[in-house]
Every structure is written in structure tokens, then in C-alpha cells.
A and B are shown apart, each in its own frame.
Chain A
Amino acid sequence: MGAFILRRLALALPSLLGISVVLFTVLALAPGDPFAELATNANVPPEVRVHLRASLGLDDPVALRYVHWLVAMLHGDWGFSFISRIDVTTLIWQRVPVTLGLIGTSQLLALAIAIPVGTLSAIKPYSWFDRIASTIALAGFSLPTFFTGILLILVFSIRLDWLPFVYRSDVEATGWHAVVEHVRQAIMPVCVLGLFQGAGWTRYVRSAVLDVVRLDHVTTARSKGLPERRVVTRHVLRNALIPVVTLVALQMPAVFGGAIVTEQIFRIPGIGALLIDAVLRNDTPVIMGVTFVFSALVIVFNLVADLLYGLLDPRIAYR
């Protein structure tokens, strides 16, 4: 298993490098010169400008600029936010836990829905339960997160007035009350994200279980007289979850997209909201930093999926 983990880590590094190349290319291709303002400023003589450009390495070849940029990124030197005047890294690290918490709980909710519903649908395909579940899953999968968010706010905050619709990191209450408040304000965002993912994954789980149920080893397990529950959990689900893990990992970029939208709707102070703010206020260093963090997170989750894959299917780990 150790060697397997190391091999996977070694494979993740080129992807991270690839993403950094894509990011840098986009930035380098973009129009607009950081010195455009200086060029029109009469107080700065042209030779000073040329000297400044050279000293900052702006006239170097692209490849060299990329290496400089990458080294700085690796040293944790991600620049300053133009707007809030603090380190981009500090700004991002303050907000990463909120986003990870949101994504983590909503994914748990999604799995808690998708695995049982998908399995039940597939065990009795084309039954009433399956038809209704499949139709709801397709509908839920077609409801974009921004619309579900608005619907939930309309029903639960405005009509019924049960839940707050603005997320506040500084809850006034203390002790028990604070915990209750935090849970109350997290319900809607977690549901928005979790139900959307859950609907998509129900479809995956269903088709994966459907593929496994027909296999001979399941028939064997049944004919041995094992109870149905045991056949499903031990013999069907474990095998069916292997492709599901891959699909879940492939969905991670979409999950982050959903998290950005959700954070924006409920004004949750996570890195998604930070990204939107930065785009609206032209805060380039923050935009680059957050995009890079999102990319790195996708790769980390892919890595986790790979490890889970090895855990579920030992043949992969020991090959």
C-alpha cells in the first residue's frame, strides 16, 4: 500500500505542474499591461520605466518568467491583495476551512442519499420506487444550484421564516445557542449542494449496482442462502462502489463550481465568495491564488479517490 500511495503522489505532481502551466499561460496571454498606467504618467521618465520593467523581469522570455513565478508560488509568496492589502496566502487560509466544511458536509449528505436510493432502485429495476426515484433524480440533477438556493430562501426564510438566509461567521449567541445557530444557518447551503450532487450520484450508483447485480458471483452468493441484506452490502455494493468512486472524483470540479455559487447566494465567507469578490474588484493576485487553490484541491481529491480505489479493490493497489 505504501508504494501505491507514493506512486500515486508521483503521478499527481505532473498534473499540478500542468495546471500551473495552464494558469500562467492564461495570465501571460491576457491583454493589458501592468505598466499601462505608468506609460501614460508624465512624471515617470521612459528610461525609468524601461529600467523598472527590466528589474521586475517583465522583458524576460516567457519560459523564464514562468519559472520565476513557479518558484515564488512554491515559496508561498503569492503576492498581496490589491484591495485588502494583506498577504494572499493569509486571506485564503482564513477562508479555506469554511469552504471545506461546506463541501465535506454536503458530500456526506449526497452520499447518504445516493447510496441507499441508488441501490434500492437497481435491486428492483423498473419498479415504482425505481421509476419515481429516477425521475426525481433527473429533475434534481437539472435544477441548477443557484435556483434551488433561491427557492429554499423563498420558502424557508421569507415565507416560513424558519432559517436565516445570510450566513454569519460571528454569531452573537454563546455556548449551546451558538452551535444551534451555526447548524441552522448551515442547513440551507448544505442542502442546496448536497441534494444536487446526491441526485447526480443516485444515477451513477444505480447503473453501477445494476451492472454488478447481474454477475455470477451474486447469483452464487444468493444460492448459498445468504440473507439478501448481506448479499447486497458485501457482494454487490463493494464492487459497485469502485466505478462510483471514479465518477465522484471526476465530479469534483463541478462540486467546487456548485460551492462557489452556494457561497455567493448565502454570502458564506469561503474562498468561492472571495473569488467572486476579487473578480468584481479586479484583484488579480487573489484571483490567481484562489484558482490555484481550487486546482490543487481537485488534485488532492483525485488522489483521495485513487487511494479509496486501492482500498476497495486490492488488485489495483498490489499490481
Chain B
Amino acid sequence: MASSIPASPTDRPLSPWGEAWRRFRRHRMATISLGILALFVAAVVLGPLAWRMPIDAIDFSATTQGPSLAHPFGTDDLGQDLLARMLYGGRISLAVGLAAMAMAVVVGVTIGAIAGISKGPVDAALMWLTDLFLSLPQLPLLLLVIYLFREQLKAMFGPEGGVFVLIVAVIGCFRWMQVARLVRAQFFSLREKEFVEAARALGATTGRVVWRHILPNALGPVIVAGTIDVAAAIIAESTLSFLGLGFPPDIPTWGRLLFDSKDHLDIAAHWALFPGAAIFLTVMAINFVGDGLRDALDPRRVL
């Protein structure tokens, strides 16, 4: 019991976020991963400003070269600089991951909240829909949707924007189910709590109760799931690009670079290794951060 009392007057109790940060730092791999992620984000955001090599400068005198001073990551079969391409492609890969996660979280929270606050048939119908989406084979459907809608979106948003919107929307549409289930479960336990009852007794509308009282308390698991979703979305985009069905060749996302490299493995291994390692490190760092956040945001855990 004594440990819950501050030891001295100067030892002020931490804010909830401060407490979470303290718990997060105890997870060593998660802290290191956060550093790696920060480095990657800084590299793709600021890197192209520092490394001014154009991504599409063709140089037939220097094709499929290994790493050197002029080209730290080597060159591809057209002599294009791989470091520049990876820095540019990384922006797209990370942007797709974040945007798709945002979409999945918004859809998931909305559906989970509606299901969690309304009992009976609405809840049952929404959960049936969630279960149905969970049992859909995602990759085949992603391929089907991309195949059917690609041309139209290209016409609407241009070749780059169209593919971006399509991939983000499609990945977001197939990843909201976990979030919806988590939010619903949180709502079920939170809406019976005394503080919610008190808010209702004070005359708060359902919308206010949900927005001000229940949602903020349900956020912990959603943040964890959202973090993992970024990793899943990055893998999904890379998979599509790797199958040759994602971004066009002039947008060298990491998956696209791997797709282009796979027929030259015997002469240019570096071409596959650098983008592959970038995907692997990013995804692993995100997963570790998710692990750390789970430790940090789970109030049942005593650390």
C-alpha cells in the first residue's frame, strides 16, 4: 500500500501520459525501436534534401553496381541510384502505412462504438459484418478490387494519386475489424461504470457520453492495435507492389524495388537486400513499439 503514496512532497504523481512513458521506457527493445523509427522517418522526410541524386537518372555506364561512394546502395539495371529511390519510395511506403492505419482506426472505432453503445439487433448485425470481414481472404480480394477499379481511379486522381487512394482505401477497409472488436468490448465494460452513470444522471446526451467519457478511456488498446496496423499496412502495400500490382515502376516503393530486383538476384543481390531490410526493420520496429505500448497502456499490468 505504501508504494502508492508519493515518497516525498517533491515526488509529484505523474500524469497518465507521463506514467505511460515511464512504463514504455522499461521495454528496452521498444525504446530502441522508437529511435530506429524516428531515424527512418527523418531519413525519408529530410533525406532527399541532403542526397540530391535524382531518382530516375539513367546511367548505362553504371548498371547493377554494388555499393560504392558514388552510389552508397548501388544501382539498378538502368543505373539509377538506389539510395535516392529508396528514400523517395520510403516516403510512399510510410505514408501508405499511416494513412491506411488512420482509415482502419476511424472505421473500426465508428463501427465498434455504434455496436458497443446500441444493444440488440444493431450490435448483432454489425458484429456479423465484422466476423464476415474477418473471414474474407484479404489478398485475393485486394487483388480483385485493384484489378476492377484501378483504371477509374487513375482517371480521377492521376496515376500516382489514384493508386495511392486505392491502396489506402482497400487496405483500410480490410483492417478495421480488430479495432472494432476491441472498441466494442471496451464499450461493454465502460458503459456500466459509475462515472458513465454519473454523466448520464447529469443529463449528458448519448453522443457526449460516448465522445467525452467512454472513448477517451477506450483508447489504450486502440492505440496498440493502430500501431500494429501500420506495420500490417506497410506489409500489405509491399506485397501488392511485390506482386507487380501496386505502384507503377516510376514510384519506387520498397515493395516495388523488390519486385524489380527479383529477376536480377544472381548479379545484383544488394538491389533486393536494401529495400527488403528497410521493410523488415521498419515493420519490426513498429511491432516492438506496439509491444512496448501494450505494456505501457495496460493499466492491469504492474511494472
Which A residues lie at the B interface, using CB under 8 A?
15, 18-19, 22-23, 26-27, 30-32, 135, 138-139, 141-147, 150-151, 153-154, 158, 250, 252-254, 256-257, 260-261, 264-265, 275-276, 279-280, 282, 287-288, 290-291, 294-295, 297-299, 302
B243–A261 CB distance below 8 A = yes
B266–A18 CB distance below 8 A = no
The docked-state distance in angstroms from the alpha carbon of A290 to that of B144 is 10
Question: What residues on B are CB-neighbors of A143 within 8 Å?
Answer: 280, 284
Instruction: Indicate if B164 sits at the interface (CB-CB under 8 A).
Output: no
Q: Taking each of B146, B148, B149, B258, which has the highest tally of chain A beta carbons within 10 Å of its own beta carbon?
A: B148
Q: Mark B259-296, 1 if CB is under 8 A from A, else 0.
A: 00110011001001100100110011001100100000
Given A146-B238, A276-B143, are A257 and B245 also a contact pair (CB < 8 Å)? Answer: no
Give the shortest distance, in Å, between B199 (CB) and chain A (any CB): 34
Question: What residues on B are CB-neighbors of A253 within 8 Å?
Answer: 134-139
Question: What residues on B are CB-neighbors of A275 within 8 Å?
Answer: 140, 143
Question: What residues on A are CB-neighbors of B146 within 8 Å?
Answer: 279
Instruction: Indicate if B180 sits at the interface (CB-CB under 8 A).
Output: no
Question: What residues on A are CB-neighbors of B279 within 8 Å?
Answer: 144, 147
Please list 8 pairs of residues, one from A and one from B, whose beta carbons are closer than 8 Å in the complex, sorted by A's number: A15-B131, A22-B141, A146-B258, A147-B276, A253-B134, A253-B136, A261-B239, A291-B144
A27–B265 CB distance below 8 A = no
The docked-state distance in angstroms from the alpha carbon of A138 to that of B284 is 7
Question: What residues on A are CB-neighbors of B29 within 8 Å?
Answer: 135
Q: Mark B228-265, 1 if CB is under 8 A from A, else 0.
A: 00010001001100111100000000010010011001
Q: Name which residue of chain A comes closest to B29, CB basis.
A: A135
Known A279-B147, A298-B136; 13 more pairs at CB < 8 Å: A15-B132, A27-B148, A31-B152, A138-B291, A141-B287, A143-B284, A144-B238, A146-B255, A150-B272, A256-B140, A257-B140, A257-B239, A275-B140
Question: What residues on B are CB-neighbors of A27 within 8 Å?
Answer: 148
The docked-state distance in angstroms from the alpha carbon of A22 to that of B174 is 13
**How many pairs of A and B residues are in contact by the CB < 8 Å rule?**
133
Given A22-B132, A146-B242, are A291 and B137 also a contact pair (CB < 8 Å)? Answer: yes
Q: Which 7 A-B pairs have the closest CB atoms?
A: A257-B139, A30-B148, A142-B284, A294-B137, A147-B276, A142-B283, A31-B152
Give the shortest distance, in Å, between B260 (CB) and chain A (any CB): 12
Q: Name which residue of chain A comes closest to B272, CB basis.
A: A150
Question: What residues on A are CB-neighbors of B291 within 8 Å?
Answer: 138
Question: What residues on A are CB-neighbors of B122 within 8 Å?
Answer: none
Question: What residues on B are CB-neighbors of A15 within 8 Å?
Answer: 131-132, 135
Which B residues lie at the A interface, using CB under 8 A?
29, 128, 131-132, 134-141, 143-149, 151-152, 231, 235, 238-239, 242-245, 255, 258, 261-262, 265-266, 269, 272-273, 276, 279-280, 283-284, 287-288, 291
Given A144-B239, A150-B262, are A22 and B136 also a contact pair (CB < 8 Å)? Answer: yes
The docked-state distance in angstroms from the alpha carbon of A282 to that of B284 is 35
Give the shortest distance, in Å, between B182 (CB) and chain A (any CB): 14
Give the shortest distance, in Å, between A125 (CB) and chain B (any CB): 14
Given A31-B151, A144-B238, are A287 and B144 also a contact pair (CB < 8 Å)? Answer: yes
Q: Name which residue of chain A comes closest to B137, CB basis.
A: A294
Q: Name which residue of chain B comes closest to A149, CB basis.
A: B262
Given A32-B151, A142-B287, are A280 and B244 also a contact pair (CB < 8 Å)? Answer: yes
Give the shortest distance, in Å, between A273 (CB) and chain B (any CB): 10
Given A147-B258, A290-B140, are A142 and B132 also a contact pair (CB < 8 Å)? Answer: no
Q: Name which residue of chain B comes closest to A260, CB basis.
A: B139
Question: What residues on B are CB-neighbors of A138 within 8 Å?
Answer: 284, 287-288, 291
The docked-state distance in angstroms from the alpha carbon of A256 to that of B239 is 13
The docked-state distance in angstroms from the alpha carbon of A68 to that of B164 is 35
Question: What residues on B are CB-neighbors of A19 within 8 Å?
Answer: 132, 135-136
The docked-state distance in angstroms from the alpha carbon of A271 to that of B132 is 23
A144–B141 CB distance below 8 A = no
Give the shortest distance, in Å, between A131 (CB) and chain B (any CB): 10
**Contacting residue for A295 out of B137, B273, B287, CB 8 A:** B137
The docked-state distance in angstroms from the alpha carbon of A147 to that of B149 is 28
Give the shortest distance, in Å, between A315 (CB) and chain B (any CB): 22
Question: What residues on B are CB-neighbors of A280 within 8 Å?
Answer: 244-245
Question: What residues on B are CB-neighbors of A26 within 8 Å?
Answer: 141, 144-145, 148
Question: What residues on A are CB-neighbors of B280 within 8 Å?
Answer: 142-144, 147
Question: What residues on B are CB-neighbors of A31 within 8 Å?
Answer: 148-149, 151-152
Give the shortest distance, in Å, between A36 (CB) and chain B (any CB): 11
Given A32-B148, A261-B239, are A18 and B132 also a contact pair (CB < 8 Å)? Answer: yes
Give the shortest distance, in Å, between B46 (CB) and chain A (any CB): 25
B137–A298 CB distance below 8 A = yes
